[in-house]
């Protein structure tokens, strides 16, 4: 992965620049159902979104993302704000990102 260092640098810069703002938003709960609808519509072609779906072998399932990063809201927010290639930049709003994070959190093991 030759783009990994560039992505990491971009994510770290984004966190440094938006950190105080993100701390305030971290307390804002998203809408889990709205997040689920968003990822079904925009992400299910590549990612396995839920047990009824199929994704590609190249993209991690949403349960895997939730297990690895579900508790790290800063990472999730940065990743959704500035995604990596080949993932398209969907230009998600803050509310949409909050909703997707709420959905991902619903997938975390209890």
Q: Give CA–CA dist 104/108, Å, rounded.
A: 7
What was the pLDDT predicted at 58?
78
Q: How far is CA 18 from CA 4, 10, 74, in A?
A: 21, 12, 10
Burial class (CB in 10 A: 0-12, 13-18, 19+), 101: buried
Residue that wins the pLDDT comparison between 31 and 56: 31
Helices (H) and strands (E) in the chain, counts: 5, 0
The predicted-structure confidence for 55-104, as pLDDT tens digits, reads as follows 776 788 888 889 988 889 999 999 899 877 788 888 999 999 999 999 99
Token pair belonging to 23: 């701390």
Token pair belonging to 35: 């997040």
Confidence of residue 34 (pLDDT cuts 50, 70, 90): very high
Percent of the chain with pLDDT over 70: 69
| Domains of the chain by residue range | 53-110
The pTM assigned to this predicted structure is: 0.69
Q: Give CA–CA dist 63/43, Å, rounded.
A: 13
């Amino acid at each position: 992965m030759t783009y990994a260092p560039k992505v990491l640098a971009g994510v770290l810069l984004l966190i440094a620049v938006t950190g105080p703002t993100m701390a305030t938003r971290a307390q804002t709960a998203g809408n889990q159902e709205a997040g689920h609808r968003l990822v079904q519509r925009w992400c299910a072609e590549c990612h396995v979104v839920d047990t009824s779906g199929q994704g590609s072998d190249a993209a991690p399932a949403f349960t895997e993302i939730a297990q690895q990063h579900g508790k790290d809201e800063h990472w999730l927010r940065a990743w959704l704000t500035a995604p990596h290639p080949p993932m398209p930049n969907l230009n998600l709003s803050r509310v949409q990102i909050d909703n997707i994070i709420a959905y991902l959190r619903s997938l975390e093991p209890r």
